[in-house]
Structure 1
């Protein structure tokens, strides 16, 4: 797609969603099967390459591109299907580490096919004992001649079954030492000997696989390591750049839930009066609209921050606020929609019921709400989030 402004870009996104995603959304949720047709359409429209630079197949000229463009696309698709929103996020998540920490050869080999839809990637950091606790990673990377041997167990990996390759986080030290400087990231092919996969049934965001990956002395060559990931700091900075895209998933879902609730309230009558004319319902919907608008502003401020190169400690709090507010907003607004639909909203497969299931998942993935609160609290303590005069930004340690 070649557009010179975001208004026409968003119009085209809605056209694609109405044509390719909306008719499939209920079926994707019902059968839980990966929507290959949606992936092909996204690839054909250039959506999988939105966050890539032109030399890797991304948009050229002044066309919408980068994290801001991907945030718009994810928001729009998430209005129609949680799986479609996650599909777009996965076009960026593994790519983020290669863009920020990979070699030119790694980027060309992996990201050009990813943007064209000829391959798919996924990101593997979480483990049974190390989800939010990144330093608890026990997957071990041991030198082996000119390569590495990876052994460990990765859990709750989105897109595990569809991926052709993974970015795997491992430690080069004894896991018991919990050394931040020992964390590294490796590119591992799906068909590597010693790698096995076990899938989990999903209760939310159905249509995208969720799996555990076992690494049993999987050998990778020396050029499989991402040279820019040399510890916890670069790893977390790479993850921070994903906050706007995750927030966009929550924003799009909340918008869709609210619009569904308003349409229902306009036609549903109680005692001969439409719900939308009853002040109690009006106020609840108005509060939800204010919630959504706040999420919108936070999400796109975060996207602008990432686009400008932010991602370190100075902006970590602001990025976390966007992810926290937008995903929690999705839970609140989808819950209200379920309530307004009444008994119908509790029936399996009803849009409101599906929205609420998918929204709850968003407060857990890509850093739980509690992790975001911890990041925000550190931003306050370190005065990266502060609203007084500069002289008042002195950090006082007890």
Structure 2
């Protein structure tokens, strides 16, 4: 069982209380209407949840990654995996800014993020999702500005966000440095001329959080808004993704917990003839399997964020964070699907929340890197680790049958 520190446990209980009072009553309605209520966003901001990751020196709460995961898990457990995304939401921009931004950029943007400004990341394209290195969005220098042209797909929040971190190719890939070289990152305000929001996507799950297509029509960005070095923006994207995968895992764990708890309670109260469902061995085994997988996923999640919070090198976290993302997402999909099965025909109806949990769980296997991409990342990390530990001159030679071709 995961044992949280006293301060984290107290924080978890406070978020659960907030979730029971303000999230649970509106969760189904948010899903049906597919709209993000402005008042609930304001509540997240008022409680310091949106801006959890912003350091205290810039006016933020200065929470650690464990706190972010605690908050997301608690909101998801309260009934909305979609609204759980609001906890620590702008950290996906704050992390790259803290890692690669100049002092001037940090002092300009982070105090605004500390006030709860929503942020979005414009990375994926229709032909460059799992492999963003083949993106076609480009930026060309024009005097003291960069001019960005192109299109991004599946962008959460869009113009509902105040800031967007945009990735565009500013040069050709450098031989020996991978396809990610030549990509730069720019931090812009979404009300800038040339930042155009297109179609609103209708999603299977995660409903309530806006998801749109974004177009850049000669979007002019001042040179001082480039984040990090020219042609090195992809590195900041990967850093952000590695650190945001555990919080996605926390949403998955929270949603799975909500589904399991509902299915367990339903099975205890539902009778077939003279016997409750939990008296049937087949269903008891299902519940045991669900609970065990859930606890294992939770343990892996909090071990990963413990290492991050204790200062483990981020390069060493990449494999573990992908393990977390894969295991929690797949566990959520398994547990929520089984929860529907426990309820039978009733579980397939929207009279019960488990069908929504199952739809929401599917999203965790896709965004911030699909489950298949996570397995590729895990395999590469394991192979590199094994190679580094092998004494010189030992081990089999690598041939075409063992070479990882997934890059």
Shift of 1:19: 1.3
State how far apart, in whole Å, the 2-side matches of 1:383 and 1:26 are. 45
**Number of the residue aligned with 1:361:** 363
SS of structure 2 residue aligned to 1:33: coil
| 1:233 alignment counterpart | 235
Distance verdict in 2 for CA 1:4–1:149, change over 3 Å: same
Q: How far has the Cα of 1:311 moved from its partner?
A: 5.9
Give how far 1:185 is off: 0.8
With the length of structure 2 as denominator, give the TM-score of the two structures. Answer: 0.90
1:254 shift after superposition: 0.5
Residue 28 of structure 2 is matched in structure 1 by 26
Q: CA-to-partner distance for each residue in 1:54-102, whole Å, 9 max, x for gaps?
A: 1122336xxxx22111110011011121221112252321222212221
Is 1:221 matched up with 2:219? no
The residue aligned with 1:377 is: 379
- How far apart, in 2, do the equivalents of 1:392 and 1:288 lie? 45
Distance (Å, rounded) in 1 between the aligned partners of 2:98 and 2:213: 25
1:314, CA displacement in angstroms?
A: 2.5
Tell me: CA distance 1:23–1:288, structure 2 relative to 1, closer, same or farther (3 Å): same
Distance of 2:268 and 2:247 partners within structure 1: 32
Specify whether residues 219 and 379 from structure 1 end up closer, same or farther in structure 2 by C-alpha distance, changes over 3 A only: same
Shift of 1:391: 5.6
1:126-141 counterparts in 2 under 5 A? 126-141=124-139
Matched, 1:201 2:199: no
Give the conservation status (yes or no) of the 8 Å contact 2:135–2:168: yes
Distance 1:30 1:382, change over 3 A: same
Within 5 Å, give how 1:1-398 maps onto structure 2.
5-59=7-61, 65-79=63-77, 80-117=79-116, 119-174=117-172, 179-198=179-198, 199-227=200-228, 230-310=232-312, 312-348=314-350, 350-383=352-385, 398=398
Identify which range, 32-41 or 169-178, moves more after superposition. Answer: 169-178
Q: Which runs of 5+ in 2 are unaligned?
A: 399-407
Q: Could you tell me how far apart the structure 2 residues matched to 1:384 and 1:16 are?
A: 46
Structure 1: stretches of 5+ with no match in the other structure: none
Task: Report the RMSD for the aligned CA atoms in angstroms.
Answer: 2.4
Deviates more, 1:330-339 or 1:294-303: 294-303
Q: Given that residues 196 and 216 in structure 2 are in contact (C-alpha distance below 8 angstroms), is that contact kept between their aligned partners in structure 1? A: yes
CA distance in 1, matches of 2:39, 2:393: 52
- The TM-score normalised by the length of structure 1 is 0.91
How many residues are matched?
A: 389
Deviates more, 1:300-309 or 1:177-186: 177-186
Change over 3 Å in CA distance of 1:154–1:263 after alignment to 2: same
